[in-house]
Amino acid sequence: MKKKNHRSTIEKTEQNSIDGEKILKTLKSLLERCEKSGLKIGYPGEGGERPFRHWLAVDLLEKVLKWPSNKVIVGERFDILLQDSAEFPIVTIETKAPYRKASKKERKNFEDRLSGFGTLRTVYFTNGNEWERLEIFSPKGKLEIREQIEFNLEKATPEEDISIKRNTLSISLLAFVVP
């Protein structure tokens, strides 16, 4: 009996796993797509942030990670919000144009908005290549950063940096609990 349960647990874990290589490949292809579309459009002031944000939401979050599309909100004040099963925002992803470093002012403005949703627990700040994850808590509207992790896509390896187990995605920096 024990052996059967153990095997069943392993099979379930493997079914809930998403190939780290697929996640890295998707992220890298998004950046390539942004570069190609930016070169073709070539319009001054259009840095590729909006297409990157859209493709990140659809291609990675919805298609690869299977986050329900009705729980992925793409906007401006909060670039991407991910909702839990009760429709509370629990994750936000702040995007910048691919490879573009955010200014200190942009970063401060972003952090100032975080306490606006007391249900947010995980926050990402990314330009596609560089990712930063913050684990936060905002009791009574006061932001508390509990953990900060950085991740560089160019240095990532599927074996070391990416795994999904028991519905939790962890890309060294990316950690989502899929509803």
pLDDT tens string 139-157: 777 888 898 888 888 877 6
Answer for the pair 122, 176: CB distance below 8 angstroms, yes or no: yes
Contact criterion met (CB below 8 Å) for 34 and 60: no
Residue 74 near residue 80 (C-beta atoms within 8 A): yes
Within the chain, residue ranges assigned H as helices are 2-15, 20-41, 49-55, 104-113, 158-161
Q: Report, as an integer, the average pLDDT of 112-132.
A: 89
Least confident of 80-94, 136-150, 154-168: 154-168
Percentage of the chain lying above the pLDDT 90 cut: 29
Burial-class residue 14 by CB neighbours within 10 Å (0-12, 13-18, 19+): exposed
Residues forming beta bridges with residue 160, ordered by sequence position: none
pLDDT for the residue 23: 82
For the sheet containing 80-83, what is the strand order? 72-74, 80-83, 89-95, 122-126, 130-137, 144-152
In this model, does residue 2 exceed pLDDT 50?
no
CA distances to 19, 61, 116, 162 from 57, in Å: 18, 5, 22, 18
3-state secondary structure of 4: helix
User: Interior CA angle at 28 toward 15 and 40, to 5°?
Assistant: 135
What are the tokens at 114?
């975080």
Q: How confident is the model at residue 169 (pLDDT cuts 50, 70, 90)?
A: very low
Joined tokens for residue 90: 């629990």
Residue 128 amino acid letter: G
Q: How confident is the model at residue 58 (pLDDT cuts 50, 70, 90)?
A: very high
